[in-house]
């Protein structure tokens, strides 16, 4: 049932009711109206001088946006190709709900264009990687966010594209998306405590650390790394992983960031998102 503007305003005005039962009933009623109510709620937030009402509106808007995010994530998981950029955009809307997919797509295309102009298919595999490294880490100045490694922004593609600083998985994701568009056999690899890339064909195989400006390394280096961590080697530490693995890893990073900040409610919500992907 559609409500008139007057009825909606009357509903919102009850959000500061001292009777908890009334307030909860009002919240449920507003939430039942779905995401189309968000613009109206944002208008009411701006025009309200009551901090109690503003706080209630913020929580309702967040609940509605989180509900949309969960639906999108479920659809993404059920989709055939599990497109990586779409998955990263959905994850991005947790912190930045107003960021449009088209904006991220356009920014990624611009990065691809910059790399493509410095690239040649005639190059040997290691030279191709060095050409990408030169464009991404030289010309475009992407780099590791070592100072604020655990910041939630490091898991948000829009924030990383703006600041040019990210964690291993966001930098690898940008690198991977560009490499795929160039038609290169580059994929993500899930290592313990580090996410890297692999260049893999029938006769060539080596690894790339996007967190260290695209440093090229070998399987022997991974074995040494695992030995140092006292971790038994597993096949999955040397082979390409799926887009689903990348989004799950990104969510775990985000969960870890919020844990370090003591954001208990956000940790709980990220666990909900992970559950959708793991079910």
pLDDT tens-digit map of 157-216: 999 999 999 999 999 999 999 999 999 999 999 999 999 999 999 999 999 999 999 999
Contact 207, 189 (CB under 8 A): yes
* Structural domain ending residue among the three candidates 50, 78, 106: 78
Q: Is residue 219 domain-shared with residue 128, that is, in the same domain?
A: yes
Q: Is residue 65 domain-shared with residue 152, that is, in the same domain?
A: no
Q: Is residue 117 domain-shared with residue 181, that is, in the same domain?
A: yes
Mean of per-residue pLDDT scores for the chain: 91
Contact 47, 80 (CB under 8 A): no
Query: Domain of 206?
Result: 84-278
Extract the tokens encoding 103: 């904006």
* Structural domain ending residue among the three candidates 22, 57, 78: 78
pLDDT band at residue 50 using 50, 70 and 90 as cut-offs: confident
Contact 236, 223 (CB under 8 A): no
d(Cα 175, Cα 132) in Å, to the nearest integer? 8
Q: Indicate whether 125 pLDDT > 60.
A: yes
Q: Is residue 159 domain-shared with residue 52, that is, in the same domain?
A: no
Considering its fold, how many domains does the chain have in total? 2
Q: Is residue 27 domain-shared with residue 63, that is, in the same domain?
A: yes
Q: Output the pTM of the full model.
A: 0.87
pLDDT band at residue 10 using 50, 70 and 90 as cut-offs: low
Q: Is residue 159 domain-shared with residue 227, that is, in the same domain?
A: yes
Q: Order of strands across the sheet with 186-191?
A: 186-191, 194-200, 205-209, 215-217
Q: Is residue 63 domain-shared with residue 99, that is, in the same domain?
A: no
Extract the tokens encoding 215: 């440093």
């Amino acid at each position: 049932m559609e409500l008139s503007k007057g009825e909606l305003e009357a509903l919102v005005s009850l959000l500061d009711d001292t009777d908890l039962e009334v307030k909860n009933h009002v919240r449920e009623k507003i939430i039942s109206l779905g995401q189309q109510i968000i613009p109206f709620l944002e208008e009411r937030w701006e025009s309200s001088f009551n901090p109690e009402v503003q706080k209630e509106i913020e929580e309702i808007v967040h609940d509605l946006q989180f509900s949309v995010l969960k639906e999108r994530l479920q659809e993404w998981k059920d989709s055939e190709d599990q497109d990586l950029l779409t998955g990263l955009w959905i994850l991005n809307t947790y912190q930045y709900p107003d960021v449009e997919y088209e904006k991220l797509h356009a920014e990624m295309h611009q990065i691809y264009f910059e790399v493509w102009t410095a690239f040649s298919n005639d190059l040997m595999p290691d030279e191709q990687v060095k050409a990408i490294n030169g464009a991404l880490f030289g010309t475009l100045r992407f780099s590791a966010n070592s100072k604020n490694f655990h910041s939630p922004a490091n898991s948000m593609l829009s924030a990383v594209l703006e600041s040019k600083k990210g964690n291993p998985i966001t930098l690898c994701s940008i690198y991977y998306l560009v490499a795929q568009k160039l038609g290169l056999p580059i994929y993500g690899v899930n290592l313990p405590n580090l996410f890297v890339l692999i260049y893999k064909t029938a006769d060539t195989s080596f690894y790339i650390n996007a967190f260290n400006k695209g440093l090229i390394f070998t399987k022997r280096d991974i074995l040494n790394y695992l030995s140092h961590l006292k971790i038994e080697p597993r096949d999955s530490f040397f082979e390409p992983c799926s887009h689903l693995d990348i989004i799950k890893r990104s969510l775990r990073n985000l969960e870890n960031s919020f844990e370090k900040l003591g954001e208990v409610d956000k940790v709980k919500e990220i666990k909900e998102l992970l559950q959708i992907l793991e079910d």
